[in-house]
Amino acid sequence: MTLLPSQIIEVAVPLPIERTFHYLVPSRLSEATAPGKRVLVPFGNRRLTAYVLAIVETADTTKLKEILDVLDDEELWTKKELEFFRWIASYYMHPLGEVLRTALPAGINLQTRKSQGNEDELSGGRSVRHETWFRAGNGTEPQRTLGTKAAALLEFLRQDGVNSAAELRRRFGQCTPQLKRLEELGLVEREQREVYRDPFRNEASVRDIPRVLNQHQQTAFVQISSSLDRHEFSPFLLHGVTGSGKTEVYLQAIAHALEQGRNALVLVPEISLTPQLVYRFRARFGGGIAILHSGLSDGERYDEWRRIRRGLVRIVIGARSAIFAPLEQIGIIVVDEEHEASFKQADNLRYNARDLALVRGQLEGTTVVLGSATPLVTTLYAVEQGRLGLLELPTRAGGSRLPVVETIAMQGIKSTISPQLHQSLVETVAEGGQAIIFLNRRGFATFLVCGECSQPLTCPNCSVTLTYHRQRRQSVCHYCDYAVPAPGTCPSCGALELKELGAGTERVEHDLVELLPQARILRMDSDTTSGKGSHNRLLSRMADGSADILIGTQMITKGHDFPGVTLVGVISAEASLNMPDFRSSERTFQVLSQVFGRAGRGDAPGRVLLQALNPTHYAIQCAINHDGAGFYQQELEFRRETGYPPFAFLAAIGISGTSEQNVGQRSEVTTALLLQLKNKLKLRIEILGPAPAPLYRLRGRFRRQILLKAHSRNDLRRLITDWLSHRTPPAAIREMIDIDPVDMM
């Protein structure tokens, strides 16, 4: 888009400012300026990167400043994408400039400098990697002066066209002086080509062909592909029990979109946990796939981003931030494991990629498939209301059955592993089967408690106990990484005797090694998977049968397909039930169902042993009976009675700071203001709090929460908008808004 001299643009700046700004474009820059690019602008007494949103037709030009520079050669975003980002900014009540900054790959901002105002001043990314290529030129050759190697090089380039410097060196050995000479003579020309770092490097993939779909898969596939043929927004829930072959449906649906010349966006909870899924996509489709996830270096991420932007990619697979991928011509968006809380970003722009998939799908007129064995209660409710189409896979794809779950009463049992579980493990390993042992707590002991004064060891920065890690010989805070040598002494009374309370995965591993000295045992939790590729190594040892037992946290529950696993053991059924969060029943049902679902996926039937103190809760009972419908009914009733989603919309306002007194005062002031505005506007909103957050102290900050509950999203928006315009900017206090909060800790 070409600009005439003295045209005006609307820009957003990456600062906590709600509004957008206007600038003049001097004629020397008008050619280069376009919506979707970044520009450098004077802002107060500093210079800032700003994002061009639009070219404005009319505005008062008298007070406008001129932009200083255009930072991008190519547009970063299309108009459609900018529209999507405006929607996000408005919905999450977050400054548009910060939304845009969040949407950019980190690598593009490598050159971040701190300038006078202590604000980030950004300039164009520099992390593009180049490679030198040579081609034959038009110069006439003075035959006699060319050496043999130079002549051979020239001949080769004339025959073979353009070649990279690396390729020429491979064929001719060291040839830099010859190439330089040829270039001086105009006989060869040099060009710089951008190269993309390949996150799949060194990974071969085997070609895989589509499977014959079973009847349920076929029905689901037909519905998805006919919605693709209609080229309009159509959202579905693909509700398939564990092992029902949802991935195969995604693969074939995506193949259909590709045949139409359209592209696919696939969101997964955390890619490093699902290498199998990425592997299957590559095996099916070969190249043209970009992956975006936290394990990439900034450079790799930026490269993937540019490959997508330039249309070199047909399929993007990524964790939540992939919802911002600059993919055009999208035909289908898949959200795998749609129930996972990790689709919600926990700080700054608190977006939910699962929800945004529906928004982007609507803006772009695509098919959206949300897949899960344990969908959110709110998702099932949306199906009931007719807002999502339902596709069901009620049976396992390979014909195997869901495992039988047996409960083991743990009253009076002191050890982590009951005699029954021990016995079953011995039998499973003897028969050549594999087992998965689940406990959603890492470390050795949950915490240490003083034998003299009974004080538990707690974190000085957070209101939590320290977890004892035996191998590291430390007691560690899982929130801020504070650590002290352990076992150590009691910080309250100096006593030497500290007792271990509660068990973590490290303890379970220790006990299992003692109980089954012959078994090959692996542990997978965030302590054993910090190294690059470590997930992959652990998972492939399970896959190729070189391990017998895998112990792990919720990491092991996610989508893994190990046909050899016939036994699943759960150390504590109630572990996730007592969280102070209205979703704790739902999470318990989901995590138990998912971990049960790892058993018996192959030919041999699966068995689950569930250790429990009190398994009467409906979340546990429904999981035991694989009764998703029953759980939904009871949970919906609970939500109706307590007034939580889907029967209310929520927004949380979090207030935090290092001074307990200031945080307390500010939260009272904020609550009073909210109440006053609510009454003035006559809105029907419940204002709860200010209450101390369940994690009252986190990384040295005190935290209080105000929860807003409303029947109308509009009322909620009106109140918050009004509050934002009335509140005084908090000093030394952070006050954040969380729309549709997921984690209430």
| Separation CA 49–CA 63 (nearest Å) | 20
- In 3D space, the residue among 271, 269, 268, 213 whose CA is nearest the CA of residue 245 turns out to be 213
Of 453, 681, 724, 736, the one binding Zn ion (CB under 5 A) is: 453
Collapsing DSSP to helix, strand or coil, 485 comes out as strand
CA distances from 44 to 8, 118, 293 (A): 19, 13, 36
Judged by CB, which is closer to Zn ion: 460, or 533?
460
CB of 462 to Zn ion, least distance (A): 3
How many residues touch ligand ATP under the rule CB under 6 A: the total is 19
Residue 163 φ/ψ region, left for φ over 0, alpha for ψ in the -120 to 50 degree band, beta for the rest: beta
What is the footprint of ligand ATP within residues 113-172 (CB under 6 A)?
A: none
479, 493 contact by CB (below 8 A): no
Of 461, 489, 621, 658, the one binding Zn ion (CB under 5 A) is: 461
Residue 136 forms beta bridges with which residues?
188
| Separation CA 316–CA 265 (nearest Å) | 5
Of 559, 615, 628, 654, the one binding ligand ATP (CB under 6 A) is: 559
Q: Which amino acid is at 248?
A: E
CB of 280 to ligand ATP, least distance (A): 8
The two beta strands, 315-318 and 263-267, are parallel
> With CB under 5 A as the contact rule, which of the stretches 231-239, 333-341, 403-411, 450-458 interacts with Zn ion?
450-458
DSSP state of 388: S
Contact residues for 706 (Cβ-Cβ < 8 A; gap 6+): 652, 653, 655, 667, 670, 671, 674, 687, 688, 689, 690, 691
Judged by CB, which is closer to ligand ATP: 11, or 266?
266
CB of 696 to Zn ion, least distance (A): 12
Judged by CB, which is closer to ligand ATP: 244, or 272?
244
Query: Is residue 401 a contact residue for ligand ATP (CB under 6 A)?
Result: no
Judged by CB, which is closer to ligand ATP: 378, or 590?
590
- In 3D space, the residue among 121, 92, 107 whose CA is nearest the CA of residue 348 turns out to be 92
DSSP state of 342: G
Question: DSSP string spanning 239-280?
Answer: EE-TTS-HHHHHHHHHHHHHHTT-EEEEE-S-GGG-HHHHHH
Judged by CB, which is closer to ligand ATP: 592, or 739?
592
Instruction: Print the binding letters for residues 650-689 with ligand ATP: x by CB under 6 A, - otherwise.
Output: ----------------------------------------
CB of 565 to ligand ATP, least distance (A): 12
| Separation CA 685–CA 563 (nearest Å) | 51
518, 429 contact by CB (below 8 A): yes
> With CB under 5 A as the contact rule, which of the stretches 28-36, 139-147, 256-264, 471-479 interacts with Zn ion?
471-479
What is the footprint of ligand ATP within residues 575-634 (CB under 6 A)?
A: 597
> With CB under 5 A as the contact rule, which of the stretches 71-79, 220-228, 343-351, 473-481 interacts with Zn ion?
473-481
Query: Is residue 449 a contact residue for Zn ion (CB under 5 A)?
Result: no
| Separation CA 557–CA 510 (nearest Å) | 21
Judged by CB, which is closer to ligand ATP: 36, or 433?
433
Instruction: Return the one option of Zn ion, ligand ATP, none that residue 657 interacts with (CB less than 5 to 8 A, by type).
Output: none
CB of 250 to ligand ATP, least distance (A): 8
3-state helix, strand, coil in the chain (%, to 5): 35, 25, 40
Instruction: Return the one option of Zn ion, ligand ATP, none that residue 493 interacts with (CB less than 5 to 8 A, by type).
Output: Zn ion
Q: Which H/E stretch holds residue 8? A: strand 7-12
Q: Which residue has the tokens 């300038």?
A: 115
Q: Which H/E stretch holds residue 39? A: strand 38-43
CB of 463 to Zn ion, least distance (A): 9
Residue 608 forms beta bridges with which residues?
405, 568
How many residues touch Zn ion under the rule CB under 5 A: the total is 14
Judged by CB, which is closer to Zn ion: 110, or 695?
695
- In 3D space, the residue among 179, 558, 498 whose CA is nearest the CA of residue 371 turns out to be 558
Residue 24 forms beta bridges with which residues?
8, 66
Judged by CB, which is closer to ligand ATP: 95, or 245?
245
| Separation CA 75–CA 1 (nearest Å) | 10
622 assigned binding-site residue: no
CB of 737 to Zn ion, least distance (A): 25
CB of 399 to ligand ATP, least distance (A): 8
Contact residues for 302 (Cβ-Cβ < 8 A; gap 6+): 105, 106, 107, 108, 110, 125, 127, 128
| Separation CA 89–CA 379 (nearest Å) | 23
Query: Is residue 490 a contact residue for Zn ion (CB under 5 A)?
Result: yes
Of 11, 253, 373, 448, the one binding ligand ATP (CB under 6 A) is: 373
Beta strands in 250-358, from DSSP E residues, in sequence order: 263-267, 289-292, 315-318, 330-336
Of 561, 735, 738, 740, the one binding ligand ATP (CB under 6 A) is: 561
CB of 283 to ligand ATP, least distance (A): 11
Q: Which amino acid is at 47?
A: R
Of 398, 643, 692, 730, the one binding ligand ATP (CB under 6 A) is: 398
How many helices and strands (H and E) does the chain possess? 20, 32
Instruction: Return the one option of Zn ion, ligand ATP, none that residue 245 interacts with (CB less than 5 to 8 A, by type).
Output: ligand ATP
Judged by CB, which is closer to ligand ATP: 37, or 560?
560
Judged by CB, which is closer to ligand ATP: 242, or 366?
242
Dihedrals φ, ψ of 519, to 5°? -75, 150
Length of the chain: 745
Structure tokens at 301: 């991420």
CB of 319 to ligand ATP, least distance (A): 16
Instruction: Return the one option of ligand ATP, Zn ion, none that residue 243 interacts with (CB less than 5 to 8 A, by type).
Output: ligand ATP
Instruction: Return the one option of ligand ATP, Zn ion, none that residue 375 interacts with (CB less than 5 to 8 A, by type).
Output: none
Q: Which amino acid is at 486?
A: A
Judged by CB, which is closer to Zn ion: 301, or 478?
478
Q: Which H/E stretch holds residue 638? A: helix 628-642
The maximal CA–CA distance of the chain, rounded, in angstroms, is 96
Judged by CB, which is closer to Zn ion: 87, or 479?
479
Judged by CB, which is closer to ligand ATP: 243, or 403?
243
Of 480, 519, 669, 695, the one binding Zn ion (CB under 5 A) is: 480
CB of 251 to ligand ATP, least distance (A): 9
What is the footprint of Zn ion within residues 491-550 (CB under 5 A)?
A: 492-493, 495
- In 3D space, the residue among 121, 128, 271, 95 whose CA is nearest the CA of residue 196 turns out to be 128
Judged by CB, which is closer to ligand ATP: 247, or 321?
247
For helices 628-642 and 584-596, angle between their N-to-C axes, nearest 10 degrees: 170
Query: Is residue 452 a contact residue for Zn ion (CB under 5 A)?
Result: yes
| Separation CA 219–CA 213 (nearest Å) | 9
Residue 142: CB atoms within 10 A of its CB come to 9
CB of 600 to Zn ion, least distance (A): 40
Instruction: Return the one option of Zn ion, ligand ATP, none that residue 156 interacts with (CB less than 5 to 8 A, by type).
Output: none
What is the footprint of ligand ATP within residues 189-248 (CB under 6 A)?
A: 211-214, 217, 240, 242-248
Q: Which residues are annotated as a binding site for Zn(2+)?
A: 450, 453, 459, 462, 477, 480, 490, 493
Contact positions vs Zn ion (CB under 5 A): 450, 452-453, 459, 461-462, 477, 479-480, 482, 490, 492-493, 495
Contact positions vs ligand ATP (CB under 6 A): 211-214, 217, 240, 242-248, 373, 397-398, 559, 561, 597
Q: Which residues are annotated as a binding site?
A: 450, 453, 459, 462, 477, 480, 490, 493
